[in-house]
Structure 1
């Protein structure tokens, strides 16, 4: 555009010279030369802004017990492979994020038609899990909150152990390798001497390895807390319910994962004695179905072998389930039971759902579901009847129901388990005093303080230290809504400006505010382009 202005200027000068020479009214035919217009001083121009995002998925990874954020790595998967349809808020394609800090935001490509994505989450000290994340927002909704809860390896109801081993140059151990936990959440792996450990490509894994085995008490909510999502398909009359689980991970010091064995190994897990098979309590010698989940693909597979119910442990009131396998993954021993085909709904009475919305969880040994209730909602359908089947909710499922905000302030807690295949009544009580604030965001040019622009397409997130971040609603004209802040508390604010200056993308900004109900603002200094011309 600027080059065109300069060309037009030159053309105007040339035309003036030509015309003044041909049509001068000077009788002496003197040529009158019109001097060119002096260029003005350089003009500083604010950068162009992108459109505001139509949808932001505001995700938090939290400790299931405390709801505090957990630094974790995530991978996005579709149909067992890395997703090609997920982008960050700047539009860059991403299939993984290393070190989220516990909170991150993403969206999908403009032309993407996917309605869900599998998110595989791993974090030090926690049992990894895959989540099926819905990407469909309600009408008018621009922010889609997602809470991904991980279970600590030290949490109640789970067990975990790591056993080191030395593997020879041929990929085998000269001695038997045994990794075993105990109690109601017992799980174990036994690798016979001489068995060759191989990676996913079939290459021997050598040197120092660690054998990590985790289990969960299947009579408690711990089992569904660590169970990767997607075990069941939607619409079936019966579901497969996990009654024993074992997560077995073997990796070398260099990070190579053991995925295959030259000969079968034995895996064991505890099964509650209260488990029934075809309406009859299980007993030694019974067989149960076996499913496996590949953490690298996020896909569940029905194993061709079955698990055998072994000896009874009177101290823990459990049986030992065992099976043989030639590969490693997350294993679930399952039983078939009638599925919940009703919508799972929570009706709200009492205090109104605040403008930033509330989180709802239903957790037990036979149900694990969560949802987000937007501000002003009178009810929330956590799962449709078809999705209840997909999420493995049984017709007789009971669960503890909690309703809480993003800082884990509890609005309702059933404490004990209540039937959840249908409608639950939740009387809300506002636990703290909240305030709302608007946050104005502008950018001012460093080379001309008189030139500024409201940042209308930024992604602004705010949180209490250590807790989930909320994404502020974009009100337009550079204003953003901070809703339901605990009055008097200090919040961390992070801003992705989503604007480029002469140096490229403007870096993310951070600040803090104290919730008091007054409007807040932030100005970001940027380097702007300069243009010259008449």
Structure 2
């Protein structure tokens, strides 16, 4: 009997019945090869790293209270960036987005410079509730390293302030006005014949005007602000153009007036201002006047001068007239230093987190971050710009981010080399490594990828933050920590849509951190033999 398995009837063929055996065979009638179906590979979605390349340069700045006993940040500060009197177009955040101003809840802020810009400094105007506005120039040189900067702000109640009101009508005072501070250090006199004008030169309206006088002595008592704490930076190059001379401040006063919400900016006839200067001067001595526009951060040399009246125990009234209101600096010149300002730290080593060095006198203030035992604080080319006089003396103070003092020289020559002996605090300082990774809820595998290229800072509550440098891919160095103390860590991933809440670590027992995000970049990857997708 024939093999029924291979006995195909015409009916079966007509109905399209296909019989198959293991292996392949050909239809002898049509010679068609029969192939098995193709099964597509199985894939899973895996995360792809989208971290940024680490920044080699940016600025990390902190606003600190000039009159506090300890190193305390000023919260809720507003920072505006200027160049040559107009809002800067060259400043960005650390993600590359253009900014002209920012508000910092913690008192600390970071920023960068547009990659196409060749600027080496920017003017910042900083304001905060209860504090006197401060203008500072942040110098970042060649932009080849992270710059850490401190900017001091003085409380208004630590200054000499006088506020008063006066009746007005038709853009003029109803009667002559003379107002002075309680300590008699500043007096302003305005005739009732003077027209009070706004910024556009129009006579103001209203029945009452207010006037504010603000000043600070060169030498202030403890807990009070000195003139150097409020004096805007950048005046030295404007106040005189002689390359062999630098400006020495003798006094600073700011006078403001308003009619309701309208600021009074000028007058049709000059008014009189008298302030106090102290020193080895004589009646009749003259002082240059440089005015400061607090809205643009620009200094302007005035054509007039202030003249000293009769003195009493080296204290003299200095009077001048002006047809506008702003801040006014009275100054004289001195011979410029002829050598760069350098430093040498002996004794204790500089900690890995670095130290801040403050050079301060009643007419000079400069704060530098140092990481080496010797270096340059002011180059030869910048001596005039920073106002370094040949005979200037300063106090030099070394301290760290934890507010531990490492050294202090009560008086040293500013011109040339400054030597300061450092002694490390007895408190135990530790360096911690902080590995950080991220995983992805929108991926189908639980991979953890290194979080590299972030901007990471750390600080004790209410204190200034330091930058944590990236020591390896996704691992950051937290140096100079007080063992056992808690530090707040702030992470800016620089990745759009990926934010990390501030978290706390304990110095000496820092643990790795992983952050879950839902917007990772993913790609399809074929599952291999194990089906793990890895």
How high is the TM-score relative to the length of structure 2?
0.83
CA distance in 1, matches of 2:179, 2:498: 50
1:511 aligns with 2:503: yes
CA distance in 2, matches of 1:190, 1:525: 65
Give 1:114-513 correspondences, 5 Å limit.
114-136=119-141, 141=145, 143-155=146-158, 158-165=159-166, 168=169, 170-183=170-183, 186-193=185-192, 195-207=194-206, 210-219=210-219, 222-233=226-237, 236-251=243-258, 254=261, 256-272=262-278, 274-275=279-280, 281-283=281-283, 285-313=284-312, 317-374=314-371, 377-414=372-409, 416-431=410-425, 432-448=427-443, 450-500=446-496, 505-513=497-505
Q: Compare 429-438 and 220-229 and name the one that shifted more.
A: 220-229
How high is the TM-score relative to the length of structure 1?
0.83
The Cα of 1:341 is off from its aligned counterpart by 2.4
Is the Cα contact below 8 Å between 1:64 and 1:149 reproduced in 2? yes
Is the Cα contact below 8 Å between 2:357 and 2:396 reproduced in 1? yes
Is the Cα contact below 8 Å between 1:199 and 1:258 reproduced in 2? yes
Give 1:38-77 correspondences, 5 Å limit.
38=40, 40=42, 43-46=45-48, 48-66=50-68, 67-71=71-75, 72-77=77-82
Counterpart position of 2:86: 81
Is the Cα contact below 8 Å between 2:50 and 2:521 reproduced in 1? no
CA distance in 2, matches of 1:322, 1:53: 51
The Cα of 1:182 is off from its aligned counterpart by 4.1
CA distance in 2, matches of 1:33, 1:261: 99
CA distance in 1, matches of 2:353, 2:423: 16
The 3 A distance-change label for structure 1 pair 510 and 112 is same
The alignment partner of 1:225 has SS state of helix
The 3 A distance-change label for structure 1 pair 204 and 75 is farther
The 3 A distance-change label for structure 1 pair 488 and 289 is same
Is the Cα contact below 8 Å between 1:395 and 1:421 reproduced in 2? yes
Is the Cα contact below 8 Å between 2:459 and 2:488 reproduced in 1? yes
CA distance in 2, matches of 1:37, 1:81: 66
The 3 A distance-change label for structure 1 pair 258 and 441 is farther
The 3 A distance-change label for structure 1 pair 98 and 514 is same
Counterpart position of 1:8: none
CA distance in 2, matches of 1:391, 1:529: 49
The 3 A distance-change label for structure 1 pair 209 and 496 is farther
Task: Extract unaligned runs of 5+ from structure 1.
Answer: 1-23, 276-280
The Cα of 1:194 is off from its aligned counterpart by 5.1
Is the Cα contact below 8 Å between 2:106 and 2:462 reproduced in 1? no
CA distance in 2, matches of 1:39, 1:258: 77
Instruction: Give 2:96's match in structure 1, choosing from 91, 99, 123.
Output: 91
The Cα of 1:137 is off from its aligned counterpart by 5.7
Tell me the C-alpha RMSD between the 2 structures: 2.8
For the pair shown, which has the larger CA radius of gyration, 1 or 2? Answer: 2
CA distance in 2, matches of 1:225, 1:522: 41
Paired residues in the alignment total: 487
The 3 A distance-change label for structure 1 pair 497 and 203 is farther
Task: Extract unaligned runs of 5+ from structure 2.
Answer: 1-24, 527-534
